């Protein structure tokens, strides 16, 4: 805060404040000065906040926590203003916060952060975080192994999703990271094909993209399997995606440009004549949220740092025909990328 010249910081984005003080409840605001910090929440969380919050005092309030946080910041000695994260603030929230301030400071007290302040910290995971993310990823791998024995013709996509999600809970998951993707046959050409009532095709690709929440940290992986016997063309496309994915993983290391990692995957598909069918970026950061910076996309000049966790997930999508995606979670180290999701990637036929 001293470095960027701010006296006070208001944090309302829940993953950010969880990261800063440990609180996991659903209603809170976090206020920081250069000297101290305070978490504001409501009476439902009195016990939980006392147990969870570290490095800050807790204020239990009856009104909106953010309003209390703004009031607290304004009355701290030596504070001329406070900054907030515009990407985590709605227009309505900001006008409510401003309306709560005395008229003479209403316009001047709150200002937008020019650069995000918490996300750069969250992007680089410490050892404890990496251990949790790795555990989450391994639970994902066990789920994939389990679901391979469950998939059979006659099931619907939602049956597969239901089994996966039930098993996830039994393995200790707090929940799923996002809506489970189970996309069979032609539907595998939808990059985000949520599980539907559609029966699994007898012959064709089946894409499974899923993740679990483990102690707040998320996993994310994709595997595409084949029901029946693939054609030469289908197998060729699968091999191209696998080669692209491994090329992307191989390009991960501290100091690498995100755009270069994307290109390592994309160029393989370009050579295979499938560049047009690869319609999204190659990956994203993952941690307390499913899509965090950095983005592994074409032309991205940001450089990877040791301790970041990113996905590498190229895919090809041919509308009306089929789609294929393979996704691993990879932790960035100084010497390369370490895959956290060691589930098999060679084409599995069921």
Residues that bind Zn ion (CB under 5 A): 209, 220, 222, 311, 327
Nearer to Zn ion, 234 or 327 (CB): 327
DSSP string, 236-258: HHHHHHHHHHHHHHHH--TT-BH
Cβ–Cβ contacts within 10 Å for residue 329, how many? 26
Nearer to Zn ion, 220 or 246 (CB): 220
Helix axes 232-251, 258-271, angle to 10 degrees: 160
Nearer to Zn ion, 209 or 246 (CB): 209
14 within 8 A of 28, measured Cβ to Cβ: yes
**What are the tokens at 28?**
């809170």
Nearer to Zn ion, 247 or 282 (CB): 282
Q: How far is the CB of 220 from Zn ion (least distance, A)?
A: 4
Q: How far is the CB of 96 from Zn ion (least distance, A)?
A: 34
Angle at 220 between CA 215 and CA 225, to 5 degrees: 140
Q: How far is CA 284 from the centre of its chain?
A: 7
Q: Tell me the Cα Rg of the chain.
A: 23
**H or E, element range at 314:** none
Q: How far is the CB of 5 from Zn ion (least distance, A)?
A: 36
Peptide bond into 294 cis (omega under 30): yes
Q: How far is the CB of 215 from Zn ion (least distance, A)?
A: 20
Nearer to Zn ion, 186 or 220 (CB): 220
Nearer to Zn ion, 66 or 330 (CB): 330
Report phi then psi at 140, rounded to 5: -60, -45
Strand partners, 257: 303
Q: How far is the CB of 108 from Zn ion (least distance, A)?
A: 41
Q: How far is the CB of 222 from Zn ion (least distance, A)?
A: 5
**What are the tokens at 312?**
């590498």
303 within 8 A of 258, measured Cβ to Cβ: yes
Q: How far is the CB of 117 from Zn ion (least distance, A)?
A: 25
Q: How far is the CB of 211 from Zn ion (least distance, A)?
A: 6
Q: How far is the CB of 311 from Zn ion (least distance, A)?
A: 4
Nearer to Zn ion, 68 or 330 (CB): 330
**H or E, element range at 271:** helix 258-271
Nearer to Zn ion, 61 or 269 (CB): 269
Q: Write the CB contacts of 17 (distance below 8 Å, at least 6 apart in sequence).
A: 11, 23, 28, 29, 30, 39
Nearer to Zn ion, 113 or 286 (CB): 286
Helix axes 157-170, 127-148, angle to 10 degrees: 130
């Amino acid at each position: 805060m001293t470095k960027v010249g701010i006296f006070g910081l208001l944090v309302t984005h829940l993953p950010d404040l969880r990261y800063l003080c440990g609180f996991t409840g659903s209603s809170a605001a976090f206020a920081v000065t250069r000297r101290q910090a305070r978490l504001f929440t409501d009476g439902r969380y009195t016990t939980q906040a006392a147990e969870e919050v570290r490095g800050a005092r807790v204020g239990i309030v009856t009104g909106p926590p953010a309003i209390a946080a703004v009031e607290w910041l304004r009355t701290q000695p030596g504070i001329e203003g406070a900054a907030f994260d515009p990407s985590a603030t709605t227009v309505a929230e900001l006008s409510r916060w401003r309306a709560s301030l005395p008229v003479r400071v209403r316009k001047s007290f709150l200002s937008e952060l020019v650069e995000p302040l918490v996300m750069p910290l969250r992007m680089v995971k410490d050892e404890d975080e990496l251990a949790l993310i790795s555990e989450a990823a391994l639970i994902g791998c066990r789920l994939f192994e389990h679901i391979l024995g469950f998939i059979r013709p006659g099931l619907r996509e939602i049956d597969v999703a239901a089994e996966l999600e039930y098993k996830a809970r039994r393995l200790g998951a707090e929940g799923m990271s996002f809506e489970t993707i189970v996309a069979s046959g032609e539907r595998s050409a939808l990059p985000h094909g949520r599980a539907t009532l559609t029966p699994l095709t007898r012959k064709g690709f089946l894409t499974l993209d899923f993740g679990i929440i483990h102690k707040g940290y998320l996993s994310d992986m994709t595997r595409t399997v084949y029901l029946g016997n693939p054609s030469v063309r289908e197998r060729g496309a699968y091999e191209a995606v696998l080669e692209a994915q491994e090329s992307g993983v191989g390009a991960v290391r501290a100091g690498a440009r995100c755009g270069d990692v994307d290109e390592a995957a994309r160029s393989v598909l370009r050579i295979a004549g499938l560049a047009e069918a690869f319609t999204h970026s190659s990956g994203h950061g993952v941690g307390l949220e499913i899509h965090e910076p950095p983005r592994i996309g074409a032309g991205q000049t940001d450089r990877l740092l040791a301790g970041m966790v990113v996905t590498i997930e190229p895919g090809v999508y041919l509308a009306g025909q089929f789609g294929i995606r393979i996704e691993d979670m990879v932790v960035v180290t100084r010497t390369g990328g370490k895959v956290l999701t060691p589930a098999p990637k060679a084409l599995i036929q069921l």
